[in-house]
Amino acid sequence: MFKELDPLLHSELRLAVMSVLISLEEADFVYLQKQTGASPGNLSIQLDKLNAAGYIEMEKTFRGKKPRTVCRITPGGLEAFRSYVEAIKGYLEV
């Protein structure tokens, strides 16, 4: 009756990151940290998990001498997010 929820997206922080990225072309680490209120270490770990799953892609560059990480949602991540939202809707319609 209920669709299985993607455990990767069911995490509050990973879901927040995906929710931010769904509406933007890209976002850097500092912006994601401000939007989610996450600590740098926790955000880094969660971004790595989303990247390993193929839900986001990360580009690490430098701006001057400062490192900069930019994240973008992938087509697979977009599909996973949409499927997750549809599954949640199924739980709410009961």
Domains defined along the chain, listed by start: 12-92 (1.10.10.10)
- The answer to whether residues 83 and 11 touch, using CB atoms and an 8 Å cutoff, is no
The pTM for the full model equals: 0.92
CA angle 8, 83, 12 (to 5 degrees): 35
pLDDT value, residue 51: 98
Task: Say yes or no to pLDDT of 94 above 80.
Answer: no
Q: Which whole number is the average pLDDT over 46-55?
A: 98
CA angle 37, 17, 45 (to 5 degrees): 80
